[in-house]
Amino acid sequence: NTASRMESTGLPLRIHMSSSTIAILKRTDCQFLYEVRGETYLKGRGTETTYWLTGMKDQEYNLPSPPTVENQQRLQTEFSDMIVSALQKRQASGKKSRRPTRVASYKKGFLEYM
């Protein structure tokens, strides 16, 4: 649950870590580098200080820059608008949703497609 909450409050191209994970990493021989992200509200856990993993000591990484929060929000809005537009065009053209042609079955104890 915590990992899911951390993912939903994270950013693309970044590894979001809790303070308990940082405590574990501090006990290893590897010297991981991290930076404080700040206080993050995690549903079910409350507010917690979280961190970004940035690399390992004495090793250079060419980490890509994540999009800014504003840019990410703009991209999400544009994507949402594209989906709404596509659904409206589909509805206007009179296309109806069709039934799935492949149905999952667990009859033999494992997933198979019919």
Which domains does the chain possess? 1-73 (3.30.70.1230)
Least confident window among 59-63, 74-78, 87-91: 59-63
- 43, two tokens: 């549903």
State pTM to two decimals.
0.51
Report which of 113, 82, 86 is spatially closest to residue 100, judged by C-alpha positions: 113
Which pLDDT band holds residue 114 (cuts at 50, 70, 90)?
very low
23-64 pLDDT, tens per residue? 988 888 878 888 898 888 877 778 888 898 888 888 776 666
pLDDT score of 46:
84
CB-neighbour burial class of residue 32 (10 A; exposed 0-12, middle 13-18, buried 19+): middle
Provide, rounded to the nearest whole percent, the portion of the chain with pLDDT above 70.
76
